[in-house]
Structure 1
Amino acid sequence: MPEPETTVRRAVESDDTVLLEIDRTSWDASSGFPSYQETVRESFFERCGPEAHLVAEYDGQVVGYLRLQDKYTFPEGAGVLAVNGLAVAQSARSRGVASALLEAAAAEGRLRGARKITLHVHSTNAIARRLYERHGYLVEGTHPKEFLIDGTFIDALDMAKML
Structure 2
Amino acid sequence: MSDKRVTVRRAVEADEAALLEIELTAWDASSGFPSLTAGDRTTFFAERWGPEAFIVAELDGRVVGYIRLQEKYPFPEGAGVLSINGLAVALDARGQGVGSVLMEAVAAEGKRRGARKIALHVHGVNTAARRLYERHGYVVEGTHPREFLIDGQYVDSLDLALFL
TM-score range with shorter-chain normalisation?
over 0.9
Structure 2 counterpart SS, 1:8: strand
Number of aligned residues: 163
Counterpart check, 1:31 vs 2:13: no
Q: Identity of aligned pairs, percent? A: 67
Displacement after TM superposition at 1:71 (Å):
0.2
- Residue number in structure 1 paired with 2:49: 48
Structure 2 counterpart SS, 1:44: coil
1:21-100 aligned within 5 A: 21-46=21-46, 47-100=48-101
- Residue number in structure 1 paired with 2:146: 145
Give, in whole Å, the separation in 1 of the partners of 2:4 and 2:27.
25
Displacement after TM superposition at 1:43 (Å):
1.1
Give, in whole Å, the separation in 2 of the partners of 1:2 and 1:37.
32
Tell me how large the CA RMSD over aligned residues is. 1.1
Give, in whole Å, the separation in 1 of the partners of 2:36 and 2:62.
26
Structure 2 counterpart SS, 1:45: coil
Give, in whole Å, the separation in 2 of the partners of 1:2 and 1:29.
30
Displacement after TM superposition at 1:2 (Å):
6.2
Give, in whole Å, the separation in 1 of the partners of 2:141 and 2:154.
20
- Residue number in structure 2 paired with 1:109: 110
Mark the CA change 1:2 to 1:85 in structure 2 (over 3 Å): closer, same or farther: closer
Displacement after TM superposition at 1:41 (Å):
2.0
Give, in whole Å, the separation in 2 of the partners of 1:8 and 1:21.
18
Which string of whole-angstrom CA distances, capped at 9 and with x for unpartnered residues, describes residues 43-66 of structure 1? 110251000000000111100000
Unaligned residue ranges in structure 1 (runs of 5+): none
The one-letter amino acid paired with 2:35 is S
Displacement after TM superposition at 1:39 (Å):
3.5
Give, in whole Å, the separation in 2 of the partners of 1:42 and 1:137.
33
Give, in whole Å, the separation in 2 of the partners of 1:18 and 1:7.
16
The one-letter amino acid paired with 2:38 is E
The one-letter amino acid paired with 1:115 is R
Unaligned residue ranges in structure 2 (runs of 5+): none
The normalised TM-score by structure 2 is: 0.97
